[in-house]
Amino acid sequence: MPMYPYITLSDDTLITHSHLINKDNGEKSVEVHFERPSKTNFLDSARCSLPSYEWIMRDGYTDEEIENFEQMLHHAAHIFFTFDHNVFEFNNFLASSFAFACPITRTVFRTLFLR
């Protein structure tokens, strides 16, 4: 599943998110992924499914860090749904454009037009 960049934190944790996922029961969800370089694990990583806030994967992050991520997710969940929906629709519209397929170009586009 493609993941789209959201932000990089000061400890080099990269936060990315999936596109909107349509579940069989008609609900929409988004997966938010956290990862950072680690001296012991190669990468610390965690993934949370919204809107259930279920942690699908967790490796290397402390309980306190996971709690902080969850607080951030509770404050920003609406962004992942709104933000992603707009980008996903626009990506579908411009799917034939090679430049827009580039992750850097998508990030610049989001920064300039969708915030």
- pLDDT tens string, the chain, 115 residues long: the values are 788 888 898 889 999 999 888 888 889 999 999 999 988 878 999 999 999 999 999 999 999 999 999 999 998 888 888 764 455 444 444 443 444 444 544 555 455 445 4
Instruction: Tell whether pTM > 0.75.
Output: no
> In the structure encoding, which two tokens stand for residue 20, read together?
């909107």
Sequence-ordered list of residues with C-beta below 8 angstroms from that of 59, at least 6 positions apart, any chain: 41, 44, 45, 46
Sequence-ordered list of residues with C-beta below 8 angstroms from that of 83, at least 6 positions apart, any chain: 17, 110, 114
- 63 exposed, middle or buried (CB, 10 Å; 0-12, 13-18, 19+)? exposed
Tell me what percent of the chain is helix, strand and coil, each rounded to the nearest 5: 40, 30, 30
